[in-house]
Amino acid sequence: MDEARAAELRAANINPHTGLATDYLNHFNEAVMLLEMVPDMPECAEDFLTWTPLSYAEHFWASNFKARDLAIEAYESADPKIREDFDNLTASMTSILTAVGAAMREATQDKTRATLAEQAASWVKPLVALAGGVINGGPESEAETSVPDR
């Protein structure tokens, strides 16, 4: 990669080595934040239930991220191994959040919803950190060995 391209990516908060942007993790951090609020404010469960999964590209298409086209293009041209590690992590987070959402919709007790929220947040937060490591060029092998079974 030439230096001009790397500078363009850095200026857009896209890692030039991985081609990934941490902005996508905001999608998952929002869900975690809402889950963490549920035990103290049960009404936040309803807010969490409005969260919907978005792919990397969908997130950027729906965002006000200035360089969204660049972010999507960089993701699509990222090293396949890095993208696979990243996609596996985000698929795990999406799977957890979707399953917990379904369980929370069926739960009738605030205490049950709070327990589900606490458990989900404890599962997703480390995955967000691992995904951040992949974005920032951390060891891919760490991501491979740390993804829980879906």
- Per residue in 41-71, pLDDT (tens digit) is 999 999 999 999 999 999 999 998 899 999 9
**What value does the mean pLDDT take over residues 70-97?**
97
State residue 1's pLDDT score.
64
**3-state secondary structure (DSSP) of residue 21:** strand
**What value does the mean pLDDT take over residues 11-30?**
96
Residue 139: pLDDT band by 50, 70, 90 thresholds? low
Q: How far is CA 76 from the centre of its chain?
A: 17
Please state, in angstroms and rounded to a whole number, the distance separating the CA atoms of residues 111 and 84. Answer: 37
- Per residue in 111-124, pLDDT (tens digit) is 999 999 999 999 99
Name all contacts of 24-30 with Cβ < 8 Å and 24+ positions apart: 24/56, 24/59, 24/60, 24/90, 25/128, 25/131, 25/132, 25/135, 27/54, 27/59, 28/90, 28/93, 28/97, 28/124, 28/127, 28/128, 28/131, 29/128
| Lookup result for tokens 């399953």 | 99
**What value does the mean pLDDT take over residues 13-41?**
96
From the list 68, 70, 120, the residue with the least C-alpha distance to 97 is 120
Give yes or no for a contact between 34 and 51, defined as CB atoms under 8 angstroms apart. Answer: yes
- Per residue in 86-108, pLDDT (tens digit) is 999 999 999 999 999 999 999 99
Q: For Cα atoms 23, 24, 26, give the angle at the middle one, nearest 5 degrees.
A: 70
**What value does the mean pLDDT take over residues 13-22?**
96
pLDDT at 135 over 70: yes
Q: What is the pTM of this model?
A: 0.87
Summary mean pLDDT of the chain: 91
